[in-house]
Structure 1
């Protein structure tokens, strides 16, 4: 059986009202249908690529995954010492440790009006471009979630905290992500 790890922050963790939930994992499971795959969610509330790198061996590498979804950036944009260059270096380090051929990338999305001061949309867009550039450099599947999410009213996609995702956001994300996951899971060999 294939093993898929969802690796990221509270959005990956399906945070609802401040607590992790199986929302994202369940939607991935539904989207993959009867494809035989174990799904491990390694989303951590408040995490960024710095924290992700600190736990990558125990949460990802030691689990010997076939495919890993890397979904960071929304918190990275507010880390004072973080820059787009450092964010890129952290993503590249993750790819090296996991094995780039196992990875599917997702760009950060959007936030609502009450979160814009600390997570400006222009910075989120810049970090999304970093993810796209890394995907191009390594010829990896990627979801430009920022582009998709930007076409929608934040109130349609986000919970009342203007940060975490409502079910509709995960549904839209899976429209783009599920085909990439099916392809990646069907082409990996154990």
Structure 2
């Protein structure tokens, strides 16, 4: 009996070790995690990032900034598709000398019935151009439908092949929960933005812990742990 308990405990320990190793390897594969260049954390997004229907301070990038104790520049523009985000990438993101960029785009592609292949191509180009500046890209997996996720595999594929850091299916528990969304069903309310920001913060902390920080942001590093 003791031998059996010891063996079960060993298996649990081994499983935990393998999970930890897997997480570590995943972080190691994130492009530019050791670059430590740039000066800004920026959110490139659409009406979700801009805070449509809620106060500016209640939009998830601003809530996330408070939760992490880290300045975040909000470049959300209501109505933006991935193509529109790509068009303003140079002016709104690259010219700002980013260290880490959170990309929250794709919902309007879905609403406008943009072909998934086109959305994928735009996201790849956005990520590649940001990474060429030495910045880290965090890709938020958009799951716009309440019934299914037509983008799940596409976001996973893009993140893996570009070595971006994926936070998957960010709207689960937000847009499919009437308490967390506005009456239009496609935008979070203030509570939903809090939920969304907390989810992003939780998944970001391991990355922020392992990443090489630029000198300009080092004073904020301890607050993100």
TM-score relative to the length of structure 2:
0.67
Q: Is residue 63 of structure 1 aligned with residue 93 of structure 2?
A: no
Q: Is residue 163 of structure 1 aligned with residue 195 of structure 2?
A: no
Instruction: Determine the C-alpha separation between the residues in 2 that align with 1:70 and 1:138.
Output: 13
Q: Deviations over 1:96-128 (max 9, x none)?
A: 11007510011114467xxxxxxxx44xx1123
What is aligned with 2:61? 25
Contact (CA 8 Å) 1:13, 1:21: kept in 2 or not? yes
Instruction: Determine the C-alpha separation between the residues in 2 that align with 1:70 and 1:179.
Output: 17
Q: Taking structure 1 as reference, are residues 163 and 147 closer, same or farther at Cα in structure 2, changes over 3 Å only?
A: closer
Q: Is residue 85 of structure 1 aligned with residue 117 of structure 2?
A: yes
Q: Is residue 179 of structure 1 aligned with residue 212 of structure 2?
A: no
Aligned-pair CA distance for 1:7: 0.6
Instruction: Determine the C-alpha separation between the residues in 2 that align with 1:167 and 1:175.
Output: 12
What is aligned with 1:107? 141
Q: 1:136 aligns with which of 141, 147, 160?
A: 160
Contact (CA 8 Å) 2:39, 2:97: kept in 1 or not? no
TM-score relative to the length of structure 1:
0.79
Q: Taking structure 1 as reference, are residues 184 and 146 closer, same or farther at Cα in structure 2, changes over 3 Å only?
A: closer
What is aligned with 2:130? 98
What is aligned with 2:107? 74
CA RMSD of aligned residues (A): 2.5
Q: Deviations over 1:4-25 (max 9, x none)?
A: 10111000111116xx723223
Structure 1 gaps of 5+ residues are: 113-120
Contact (CA 8 Å) 2:104, 2:139: kept in 1 or not? yes
Contact (CA 8 Å) 1:106, 1:143: kept in 2 or not? yes
Instruction: Determine the C-alpha separation between the residues in 2 that align with 1:75 and 1:50.
Output: 10
Contact (CA 8 Å) 1:13, 1:45: kept in 2 or not? yes
Instruction: Determine the C-alpha separation between the residues in 2 that align with 1:185 and 1:66.
Output: 11
What is aligned with 2:83? 50
Instruction: Determine the C-alpha separation between the residues in 2 that align with 1:51 and 1:42.
Output: 12
Give the secondary-structure state (helix, strand or coil) at the position aligned to 1:165: coil
Aligned-pair CA distance for 1:147: 6.8
